[in-house]
Amino acid sequence: MIRGFRLWLLLALVAVPAQADQRLELLKHISAAGAPALTLKMLDQAQPTIDQDLYAWIAWEQERLAILAQWRQWNDLLIRVEGLPADVPEQFLQQAVTYKASAYLNLDQATAAREVLRTRLWRVDAGESAEYESWRQLVIESYLRDGRHEDARVAMLRFDQDFDNRDPEWQLLRARVLIETGRDDEALALLAGDESWQADLTRLLARLRAGDVDRAEVWRLVKTRSAADELDPEQRASLWGLGYHVAARMSPVDRVVALEALFRTGAESPLELFRIPVDRLWQAYTEYAELVGNRAELLLGDDAAWLDLAARSSKPTPVKARSLYALLLLRAADGETADRAAAGYMQTHGEIDAGERNLLDSLFNRSRAFSSARKIPPSIRYQLVDLALQSADIDEATRLMSGLETIPDGASRFDWQLRQSRVLILGGRYREGDAVLRNLISEYREPQVEATDRLLQVLFDLQTVGLHDEAIAHFNALLRLEVEARQRREILFWIGDSYRGLERYDHAALLYLQSAMLPGPDTMDPWGQTARYNAAESLQAAGLIDDARRIFVGLLRVTDDPARRAVLNHRIQQLWLNQGAR
C-alpha cells in the first residue's frame, strides 16, 4: 500500500508543467500533515533543474526553504542557501538573505545574523527591496537575542519613523522591546484592543512587571487556564512561561512547579518572552534544594545525608525530592552518588507518561548541564534510550547508547543485548547490531514465549533495513530451538518474507506454505489463509502461474466475505489474462 501511494504521488508530481501550482499545493499539504522528510524527497524528484526552467526551479526552491523553516531545520536551510548559484535573480537572493538571517537567529548566532543583514542593509539600493522591512525587524530581534535591549529600542524607534506597520506580529515585537526596557505602561497602551491570546498573555506580563496585578491571582489563572483540554501545546507552554515569570517573584518551589509544567508540554511558545531555557529548571532545582538543605541543617559535601533526606521526601513531596536529587546529580563528589541520585530522581516520576518523557528529554538532551550524552548518569541514559525508541527518535537513541557497555542494574544480559542490538541496527550500525544479535541468539538456550517475541521484533528491524540474509540466518537459528508451535509457524512466515525481499520467490512460496500447513495440511484458519495468499503471489512472481491459480481457487472455496471473494476472483482473472497473453 505504501509503495502504491509513493508511485501515485510521484506520478502526481511529475505531471505536465501546467499543473505545477497544483503539485506545489500538494507538497504543502503533505508537509503540513507532518511528513516534511517525504515532502523534501518528493521535491528533489520533481523539481526541474535550474537550466531547464529557471523560474519554475525558483518556485520549487522557495517552497523548499519555507518547509525547512517551518520545521526548524535551520542547519539544512543554511546549507541550502549557501549553495545557491550566484547568478539567480536578485529578488530571490534577497528572500534567501531573510531565511539565512532567521536561521542564524534561531541557532542563537545573533552576531552572524546581523553580519548577513548589514551586508544587505548598507547597500545603496537596500530600501528598494521587498525584504527591507523584514531585514530591519530581524536586526531588532538580533539585539534582543544578545540582550542589547536599549539598542533594540533605538532600532525600533527608527523603524517606526520609516514605516507604518500595523501587523499584529510587529506589534507584539514592539511590546516585547518595551517590556524588556522597563516601559510596561507603553506596552499596555500599545496592545490595547488586541484580543488575541498572545496579546492577552503579554499584557498580563506587563501588568505583573508594573506591579498592578496580584501575583497570586495570575498564578491561579495560569493553573486554571492551563488545565483546559482545548488548549494547544503552544498556548499551554506560553501560559507556563508566564507562570515562571510569576513564580520568579514567589517561592523556589513555585519556580520548580512552573518550569516542570512548562517542559512537560513538549512545546515552545511562539512568543520569545515566554521561551525559558531548560537550564533554568536545573537552577530552580538547585535553589530549592539548597533552601531545603539549609532548613534541615545539612552540610554541603555530606552526600549521604542529602540522599537520605531526598529518599524520605520522595513519596510525600516528590518536587522536593527531585530538587534534592537534581542537586546531587550536578554536584555529587563521586559517580556512585550521582548514579544513586539519578535512580532516585527517576523513581519520583512514577509512571513515565508523555509529559514526563517531554520533561526528561528537555532536562537531559536539551540542556547545557548535560551537553554530552556521556555526562548523563548511565541509569538515566538507559531509560532515555527506551524513551527515544518509543518516540521513534533513532538518532537520539543511538547518541545516548554510544559508550554504554556495562549492563544496567536490574537488567538481564538478554534485555541489555536486545536493546543494544536494536538501537545499533536502527541507528544504521548494521554490522555491530547484527554481531550483538548473533551472540545473543547463540546464548539463547531455553526459549520463553515473551523473550522469543521480543527477539522477533529485532529481526523485523533487520528485515526493514533490507538485511534479509542476516535475518534468515537468525530465524533459522531460532527454529533449531524448542520454540512454541505458534512462534514456529510465524517464523516460517517471516523467513518467507525475507526470501520474497531477496526476490527468491520460489523459496518464499515454500516457506509460506509450510507456515500455512504447520498445524495440518488442510488448515484454513485466518493465518493459514494469509500465508496461502502470500504463497500464491510469490508463485505468480516466480512464473508458476498454474500453482498460483490453484491456491487462489482453493482460498475462494473457503472464503465467504464478499470483498475478499472479489479480490480473489480479480487475481484469478488476472492470471488467466496474463497467461493467455503469452
Report yes or no on 506 lying in a domain: yes
pLDDT band, residue 20 (cuts 50/70/90): low
Number of domains in the chain: 2
Domain termination site, one of 180, 205, 230? 205
Q: Which three cell numbers stand for residue 78?
A: 543554511
Determine the straight-line distance between the first and last CA of the chain, rounded to whole angstroms.
28
Report d(CA 297, CA 216) in Å as an integer: 30
pLDDT at position 288? 97
Domain termination site, one of 522, 549, 565? 522
Q: For residue 315, what is the enclosing H or E element?
A: none
Q: Which three cell numbers stand for residue 136?
A: 530591519
Report yes or no on 214 lying in a domain: no
Report yes or no on 552 lying in a domain: no
Domain of 149, CATH number, reads 1.25.40.10
One domain, residues 334 and 476: yes
One domain, residues 504 and 371: yes
The per-residue b/e assignment along 277-310, b for 16 or more CB within 10 angstroms, e otherwise, is ebebbbbbbbbbbbebbeeeebeeeebeebbebb
One domain, residues 312 and 183: no
One domain, residues 366 and 513: yes
One domain, residues 64 and 171: yes
Q: Is the pLDDT of residue 174 over 50?
A: yes
pLDDT at position 17? 47
Query: Could you tell me the pTM of the whole model?
Result: 0.71
For the segment 561-567, the average pLDDT, to the nearest whole number, is 83
Domain termination site, one of 205, 233, 248? 205
pLDDT band, residue 464 (cuts 50/70/90): confident
Tens of pLDDT, residue by residue over 398-429, are: 677 666 666 666 567 787 778 878 888 877 77
One domain, residues 317 and 463: yes
Report d(CA 290, CA 300) in Å as an integer: 9
Tens of pLDDT, residue by residue over 7-16, are: 333 333 344 3
Q: Which three cell numbers stand for residue 6?
A: 509513493
Report yes or no on 259 lying in a domain: no
With residues binned 3-state (H G I as helix, E B as strand, rest as coil), the percentages for the chain, rounded to 5, are 75, 0, 25
Report yes or no on 215 lying in a domain: no
One domain, residues 327 and 425: yes
Q: Are 257 and 319 in contact (CB under 8 A)?
A: yes
pLDDT at position 28? 78
DSSP at 469: H
pLDDT band, residue 488 (cuts 50/70/90): very high
Report d(CA 341, CA 331) in Å as an integer: 10
Q: Taking the CA of residue 85 as centre, how many other CA atoms within 13 Å lie in the half-sphere pointing to its CB?
A: 10
- Domain, as residue range, for 169: 2-205
Report yes or no on 228 lying in a domain: no
Report d(CA 554, CA 569) in Å as an integer: 11
Tens of pLDDT, residue by residue over 207-266, are: 999 999 999 999 999 999 999 988 999 999 999 999 999 999 999 999 999 999 999 999
The position carrying cell 472464503 is 559
Number of Cβ within 10 Å of residue 501's Cβ equals 17
Domain of 457, CATH number, reads 1.25.40
One domain, residues 168 and 316: no
The position carrying cell 539544512 is 76
Tens of pLDDT, residue by residue over 23-74, are: 777 777 777 776 787 788 888 888 889 988 898 899 999 999 999 999 899 9
Report yes or no on 132 lying in a domain: yes
Report d(CA 191, CA 193) in Å as an integer: 6
pLDDT at position 387? 73
Which range is least confidently modeled, 114-118, 400-404, 438-442? Answer: 400-404
Q: Which three cell numbers stand for residue 488?
A: 514456529
One domain, residues 39 and 177: yes
